[in-house]
């Protein structure tokens, strides 16, 4: 297979922008399926890419589905990703291994809250993209407004490559501004692509828009800039090559228009995917060399190099665990030996498959750039595999912190084994789904990204493991922090028969100056070896262990900076253990003096509802201690953006439906941790103390 003709792409967007409908059309036009099934179809099951019953019932995508298709002479690996914020890790996973993406935007609603989130994720992994403005046949559609929002809200440099012929229910086809031809999609399902001359009443507009396209590219491409300044003619081939260069360099975003539901504009978008998005060899991918102080190494998309693969997604199917992998370097054949870099376990490749949603095709080998499935691989999501010749690890994905907890248990004791099996599997598959045991209450606690996230997993335990679940009240994942500097000077002495324990540590703690992902920083300012070098890591460990449990409500302490600057040691009685214990007690002593406070998760809430409900929606947010940051009104719909404490958001979905006659919808994502008001803090401490008494 010619690697330059391979495209690994994902489709990402706000919920309900029509991603799954678009994927379904792509599969139809590339000959992978022979019948189109709508997302909310009453017969025929559901879309190919929504293979889970739950996805079909709720009409949303929960898991990324992977498939591959051929369009003209291009091979396309396609991953359809969820738009719902609770399943954001699925988007992270997909983007981590993709070379390009299609950002789908609704022609009416434009750039929505989740579009902003997926765009941020694309930037995190430097994924070049094309945009597709969908639903231009709907009342209120305005592609130009959406293009402006792409620039204003997302900071893209959009370049319209196709413009609509007619709009709303008059939408007939598109004008290709590169070929300067009108394109119509005829036949029962729009499968016949017909090129005609541009209608005379649109010719002037098309010329102006083509000129605008060339100007935008000239801003970033010297070749086009030169021709533009000389007022020389730019050929179709030259224009395509230039758009490709500036798209891959992430300078511009080519924009296509169409309607997936009415089967118009999809084939032209597919052409754009082939023409403008990168092949695997045109994207820079890096691994960390564990034998060379984790320095970055650039991976080469070549078959004869040492093999490097990344397991980016796990799924439990009828044949056992299926692991989705991206081959970054080298090739892999059935029967090859691989090493899991994370746990050093060896693996003989049992079976390699190409995925098509929930069905598959066996293949004998895969090369650099391929996305494949493998069975019988014991690993976790994000593990790196090599052929043993190199000790590389792919940089891991960004995993958001879970913010909501639920106590769960099986209804029948006889179902305990199935219950545990389900929890173990879901943890392996989804890093944002976490399970722990509360030692004090002996309860099993599950943690996740939101109510829907946990609701889906509870529903899956019922259906896939035939286990009824008892669910406790949802709990918020609070944190604690300090508000001022406090010194410590602690001596740990223990003398009992035989050798004793001795360690003294002194220094101070203060609020973290520069935030980091660990929410903790340790500075060693010891001089003159008053604490020997070999005991310093034990001090660090002791401080961190104490921070796992705060003093107010025993929640983890965050954003603490520790400086150790003095201490003393005993030639016989000092040990790593003694310094670790001294540090734990020193930290405990200092925390009490550093004025600790409780932090709560604040969510970014975006509510959309018809104009007439604006007052009620805002009233509801205010009642929930929400702070409104923005309100916009467009085409008889109001969008309210607010910051609201998660504690106040339980049960919001039924409330918003109730007050808006079912017409209001919302998305919510974690934004930050913030100090709770004094009255709430007192209430939380009181509740905690009462629970402790029991």
- Average the pLDDT over each of 108-117, 212-221, 472-481 and give the range with the smallest value: 108-117
- Helical H runs in 166-235? 200-218, 222-229
Contact predicate 198/210, CB 8 Å: no
Quickly state the pLDDT bin for 477 (edges 50, 70, 90).
confident
Question: What is the C-alpha to C-alpha distance for residues 202 and 172, in angstroms, rounded to an integer?
Answer: 13
Q: What is the pLDDT of residues 310-368, one digit of tens each?
A: 888 777 666 677 788 889 999 999 889 999 888 888 888 888 887 664 567 888 888 88
Task: Specify the DSSP class assigned to residue 54.
Answer: H
Q: Looking at residues 432-443, what average pLDDT do you find? A: 80
For residue 46, the model assigns a pLDDT of 44
Would you place residue 659 in the very low, low, confident or very high pLDDT band (cuts 50, 70, 90)?
Answer: confident
Share of the chain above pLDDT 70, in %: 89
As separate numbers, helices (DSSP H) first and strands (DSSP E) second, the chain gives: 16, 38
- Which two tokens mark 463? 């259906």
Q: Flag the least confident range among 49-63, 95-109, 196-210.
A: 49-63
Confidence class for position 35, pLDDT limits 50, 70, 90: low
Mean pLDDT to the nearest integer, 164-173? 90
CA separation, residue 312 to residues 31, 68, 476 (Å): 27, 17, 29
Q: Highest-confidence range of 79-88, 342-351, 672-681, by mean pLDDT?
A: 672-681
Q: What is the pLDDT of residue 181?
A: 92
Q: How far is CA 230 from the centre of its chain?
A: 45
* pLDDT exceeds 70 at position 86: no
Residue 41 banded pLDDT, cuts 50, 70, 90: very low
Lowest average pLDDT, out of 13-22, 254-263, 474-483, goes to 13-22
How does the average pLDDT of the chain come out, rounded?
84
Least confident range of 119-128, 346-355, 493-502: 493-502
| Residue-level pLDDT at 625 | 92
- How far apart CA 80 and CA 481 sit, in angstroms, is 40
Rounded (5°) CA angle 122-124-129: 25
Mean pLDDT of 232-247: 92
Give yes or no for a contact between 158 and 133, defined as CB atoms under 8 angstroms apart: no
Instruction: Examine the pLDDT at 577 and tell me if it is beyond 80.
Output: yes
The answer, yes or no, to whether residue 466 has pLDDT greater than 80, is yes
Cα 344 from Cα 359, distance rounded (Å): 31
Task: Grade residue 90 by pLDDT with cuts at 50, 70 and 90.
Answer: low
Q: Which two three-digit tokens encode residue 459?
A: 């529903």
Query: Which of 2-16, 23-37, 400-414 bottoms out in mean pLDDT, i.e. has the lowest?
Result: 23-37
d(CA 350, CA 348): 6
Closest CA to 63 of 330, 315, 434: 315
pLDDT of residue 59: 39
Confidence of residue 214 (pLDDT cuts 50, 70, 90): very high
- Model confidence at 62, pLDDT cuts 50, 70, 90, reads very low
Read off the pLDDT band of 82 (50, 70, 90): low
pLDDT tens-digit map of 247-256:
999 999 999 9
Does 43 have pLDDT greater than 70? no
Q: Give the tens place of pLDDT for each residue, 408-424.
A: 989 888 889 999 988 98
> 40 or 213: whose pLDDT is higher?
213
Reported as a single tens digit per residue, the pLDDT across 266-316 is 999 999 999 999 998 888 888 888 888 778 888 888 888 999 998 887 776
Q: Where does the pLDDT of residue 395 fall: very low under 50, low under 70, confident under 90, or very high at 90 and above?
A: low
Mean pLDDT value across residues 191-201: 90
Residue 510 · residue 561 · CB < 8 Å? yes
Contacts of 641 (CB under 8 A, 6+ apart): 113, 604, 605, 606, 628, 629, 630, 631
Confidence at 75, pLDDT banded by 50, 70, 90: confident
């Amino acid at each position: 297979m010619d690697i330059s003709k391979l495209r690994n792409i994902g489709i990402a967007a706000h919920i309900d922008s029509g991603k799954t409908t678009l994927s379904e059309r792509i599969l139809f036009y590339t000959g992978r399926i022979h019948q189109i099934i709508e997302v909310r179809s009453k017969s025929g099951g559901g879309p190919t890419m929504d293979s889970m019953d739950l996805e079909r019932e709720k009409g949303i995508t929960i898991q990324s589905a992977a498939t591959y298709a051929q369009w003209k002479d291009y091979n396309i690996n396609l991953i359809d990703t969820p738009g719902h914020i609770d399943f954001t890790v699925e988007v992270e996973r997909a983007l981590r291994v993709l070379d390009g993406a299609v950002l789908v935007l609704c022609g009416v609603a434009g750039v929505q809250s989740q579009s902003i989130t997926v765009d941020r994720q694309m930037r995190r992994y430097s994924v070049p993209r094309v945009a597709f403005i969908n639903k231009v046949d709907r009342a209120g559609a305005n592609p130009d407004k959406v293009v402006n929002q792409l620039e204003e809200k997302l900071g893209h440099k959009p370049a319209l490559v196709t413009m609509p012929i007619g709009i709303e229910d008059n939408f007939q086809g598109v004008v290709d501004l590169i070929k300067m031809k009108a394109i119509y999609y005829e036949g029962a399902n729009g499968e016949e692509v017909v090129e005609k001359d541009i209608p005379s009443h649109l010719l002037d507009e098309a010329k102006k828009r083509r000129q605008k396209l060339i100007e935008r590219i000239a801003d970033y491409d010297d070749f086009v800039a030169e021709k533009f300044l000389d007022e020389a003619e730019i050929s179709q081939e030259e224009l395509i090559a230039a758009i490709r260069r500036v798209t891959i360099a992430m300078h511009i975003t080519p924009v296509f228009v169409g309607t997936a539901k009415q089967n118009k504009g999809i084939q032209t978008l597919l052409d754009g995917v082939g023409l403008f998005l990168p092949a695997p060899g045109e994207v820079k991918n890096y691994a960390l060399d564990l034998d060379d102080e984790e320095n970055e190494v650039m991976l080469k998309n070549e078959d004869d190099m040492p093999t490097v693969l990344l397991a980016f997604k796990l799924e439990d199917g009828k044949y056992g665990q299926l692991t989705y992998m991206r081959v970054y370097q080298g090739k892999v054949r059935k029967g090859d030996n691989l090493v899991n870099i994370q746990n050093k376990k060896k693996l003989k490749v049992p079976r390699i498959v190409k995925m098509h949603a929930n069905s598959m095709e066996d293949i004998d080998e895969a090369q650099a750039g391929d996305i494949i499935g493998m069975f019988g691989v014991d690993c976790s999501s994000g593990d790196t595999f090599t052929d043993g010749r190199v000790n590389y690890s792919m940089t891991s994905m960004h995993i958001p912190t879970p913010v909501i907890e639920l106590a769960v248990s099986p209804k029948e004791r006889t179902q305990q084994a199935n219950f545990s099996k389900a929890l173990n599997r879901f943890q392996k598959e989804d890093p944002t789904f976490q399970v722990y045991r509360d030692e004090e209450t002996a309860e099993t606690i599950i943690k996740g990204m939101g109510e829907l996230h946990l609701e889906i997993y509870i529903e899956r335990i019922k259906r896939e493991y035939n286990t009824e679940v008892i669910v406790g009240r949802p709990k918020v994942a609070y944190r604690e922090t300090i508000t001022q500097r406090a010194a410590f000077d602690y001596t740990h002495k223990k003398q009992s028969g035989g050798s004793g324990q001795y360690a003294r540590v002194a220094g101070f703690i203060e609020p973290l100056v520069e935030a980091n992902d660990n929410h903790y920083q340790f500075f060693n300012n010891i001089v003159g070896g008053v604490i020997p070098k070999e005991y310093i890591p034990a001090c660090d460990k002791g401080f961190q262990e104490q921070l796992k449990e705060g003093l107010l409500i025993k929640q983890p302490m965050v954003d603490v900076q520790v400086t150790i600057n003095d201490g003393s040691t005993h030639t016989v009685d000092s040990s790593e253990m003694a310094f670790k214990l001294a540090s734990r007690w020193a930290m405990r002593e200092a925390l009490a003096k550093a004025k600790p406070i409780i932090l709560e998760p604040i969510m970014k809430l975006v509510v959309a509802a018809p104009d007439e409900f604006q007052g009620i929606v805002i009233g509801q947010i205010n009642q929930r201690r929400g702070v409104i940051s923005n309100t916009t009104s467009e085409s008889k719909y109001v969008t309210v953006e607010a910051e609201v404490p998660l504690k106040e958001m339980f049960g919001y979905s039924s409330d918003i439906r109730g007050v808006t006659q079912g017409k209001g919808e919302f998305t919510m994502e974690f934004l930050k941790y913030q100090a709770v008001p004094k009255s709430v803090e007192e209430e939380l401490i009181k509740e905690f103390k009462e629970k402790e008494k029991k």
